[in-house]
Structure 1
Amino acid sequence: MEGLTDGRPKALLEISGRTLIEHLLDRLRGPVTDVCLVTGPGDAESFRRILGESYGDLRVHIAVQNSPVGVADAVRRAEALVNGPFMVVMGDCWYDRDLSSFPQQWQSADTDGAVLVEPADAAGGQPIGLVTLTEERVTGMIKAPWSGQADLRVCGAFLFPLKFFTSAAAAHRPESGEHELEDVVQELIAGGATFRAIRYEGWRRNINTPADLRAVEERVDTLSDPAAINSSE
């Protein structure tokens, strides 16, 4: 992706005249009032220039991860801004449907957290983790590739309880080199926390390659074309 990103974060890639992060924030409207973007050193100003202090009715906060040592570590950079359950969404994902129902479904599930999932063999790029279930409750999460049996994978979004931060510190293994969300989910489950698997019913794509970017651009064009939408209904 280096030739396409020109050294910028993937979230700043342009798709049909707007950045990926703008497309993503459009999917979060509703129950979400504040967002915290975790960026690398030197990227905060680029995001602030595009989004300002707010994006529509979303207040925009920015935190900086000084070293790229995993997604869980990135989330920990936002701890000072969090005072209750919170959602984590990967910044390189594009979704064709609103994500507002994700927290709403979690609230009715009576669990500590939730994981948005899709079939493990769905198109859409690399998974964050493969998920094992018992009656829609997450029993395990393993970073792919994995030789065991799993029908579902995470598709870029989580809901966590506030105790994420305590468990993230306990799950951190400096010798492993990276601090990932799979480890924190496992730590939380081992401590008695429950997670509901909520299935994403739309089309989405992790943007990892130029082919992924082209697929998203084609999807955006389709959704913008009333004739194409009507013909698919």
Structure 2
Amino acid sequence: MSNTFVIGDIHGGLKALQQVINRANVTTNDKLIFLGDYVDGWSETPAVLDFLIDLSTTYSCVFMQGNHEEMLIKWLKKEDDNELWRFHGGEATVQAYQNIPLKTIERHISFLEKLNEYYIDNKNRLFVHAGFTHLKGVAFEYFRGMLWWDRTLWETAMAVDGNLSADSVRYPQRLKLYKEIYVGHTPVIRFGASAPMNFANVWNVDTGAAFTGKLSILNVDTKEYWQSDSLPDLYPAEKGRN
């Protein structure tokens, strides 16, 4: 029997990624859906990208783009050096690339350029890094960057009354479009949580690995999840993201 797993924001924490894959007993029969933000924060961004590229040769993987990938690829291609990006985790990535061979950098650029904006499976479950704003769904989003920058979808889901029927005219139209929606981008530690959170039909799997939290992997069918150690414990000499 195969499983489908969704993995939250990694932010350069290779040790955490390896832990959750092992703890969830992932096999080559399973599908792995990554929600983006593989980079920036902890010191192993190049190693994370190498690991994901190699993983995809053996496992069934779907990779979403996150906002940090958007910024990293511009830096790698020497198109932009964003001071704010450096402040929010990019500086660790800049330092990590100091001794990386050009051939590896080109390999990473190729991987980053092929990331998915979103993924919808055969059960009408949507996987997207951040969210979307268009009332007709992700395919109609006017500003594609909202797919990796939006926070309003998650904020809307948190505000839905748990007793409100999906048939109600008050139920958010965006949430009716998909059976379930899986997002990252907005760390649940902001709301005092440490595990994946669920409101309405939206699941947030970003459990704050960029900061003081852990990395999470969740079985989308059973909703069982596994977590790494906290990232500060795995990287005690580092500070992670600001």
Same fold (TM over 0.5): no
